Amino acid sequence: MIKVSHLSKHFTIKKREPGFLGSIKALVHAETELIKAVDDVSFDIKKGELVGYIGPNGAGKSTTIKMLTGILTPTSGKITVNGLDPSLNRKENAFQIGVVFGQRTQLWIDLPVEESFDLLKSIYKIDDATYKRKMEFFFDLLSMKDFFKQQARKLSLGQRMKADLAASLLHSPKVLFLDEPTIGLDLIVKEKVREFIRQINSEEKVTIILTTHDVQDIEYLANRIIILDKGRIGYDGNISNFNKLLGNESVINLHFTTGVSKLTLPKPFKVKEKISDLNYVVTGPDKEPLSTLLNGLQKSKVKIKEIQRQKPDLGEAIKKMYAGKSEL
């Protein structure tokens, strides 16, 4: 469905020294710097896959998405989206993709949502029967009927995001690009949006690329993640495999009934963080039974109120990779 081969996008920016003299000097002789926003990226995404495309700010995620949608032309490399080159076939590609940017809307803000959808129906030449069926689907899953006749500028963030999702899927695209689809939403609306994304992926086999900084979006929706760092792919594979970056350690929260100023632990457990005299965060091997820790604490004569063991999560693995503490 999507094939990306040795894709690069470079930008040349002018550098100048600060102040008035720096501006004059730049007019006479401007120094330039080459920025490699995307640098030799390759990946294939099959039909019906839901892939998390993630990375820190400035990693090149948005630049990649803009090339996949045809907004930007690559410096080098090749892209095909369902057999089309997005930069050479922008109009044809636009009819087979949907795009949602969490901080921007594709609705006409001065019009009621209903009229924006009528305009999209005309632009994409959707017949009445298909349009009616689609809207019933959106009303059912996204509860859009409650605000469908409201002016777009008066919608809450959650309502606007639901409307944008529906608008991007109105013409039955084969590929959907989602950029921060749950940003700023409350927990209930997030869950509704995530469930909707999962359903259209599983039932309609829409191929989805999801960029987000919300780890829960990735853990809930994606089986495969591609992590971009400084324009290059750092990891491409299964989430469960990626978590192996953390080794085999788990995190244990210890709560004591009386204060412990200094905590002594049996090996191989270690103190990761002291939150207070009553609360410590400890790390230890997954396979090491908690009884080893409890027996050691009993010898220290500390009184445990509560103990909680957690498996490593995706967020910790990503932080570890960015910190350069482990090789992929």
Q: pLDDT for 291-307, tens place per residue? A: 888 888 888 888 888 88
d(CA 84, CA 96): 10
**Interval 212-222 mean pLDDT:** 85
pTM for this entry: 0.76
Phi (first) and psi of residue 207, to 5 degrees: -75, 130
Q: Domains plus CATH for the chain?
A: 47-243 (3.40.50.300), 248-311 (3.30.70)
Q: Which two tokens stand for residue 161?
A: 């995001």
Burial class (CB in 10 A: 0-12, 13-18, 19+), 136: exposed
Give the HSE-up count for residue 12: Cα atoms under 13 Å, Cβ half-sphere: 4
Confidence bin at 327 (pLDDT 50/70/90): very low
pLDDT digits (tens, 9 = 90+) for 272-293: 899 999 999 998 887 788 888 8
| Residue positions counted in the chain | 328
pLDDT number for residue 126 = 95
Give the HSE-up count for residue 275: Cα atoms under 13 Å, Cβ half-sphere: 10
d(CA 156, CA 314): 30
pLDDT-above-90 percentage for the chain: 52
For 97, 253, 260, 290, 297, the CA distances from 264, given in Å and listed in that order, are 57, 15, 10, 15, 8
Strands (DSSP E) found in 75-171: 76-81, 97-101
Q: Is the pLDDT of residue 131 over 80?
A: yes
Instruction: Give the contacts of 247 (CB within 8 A, at least 6 positions apart).
Output: none
Averaging pLDDT over each range in 39-43, 57-61, 105-109, which range is the top one? Answer: 39-43
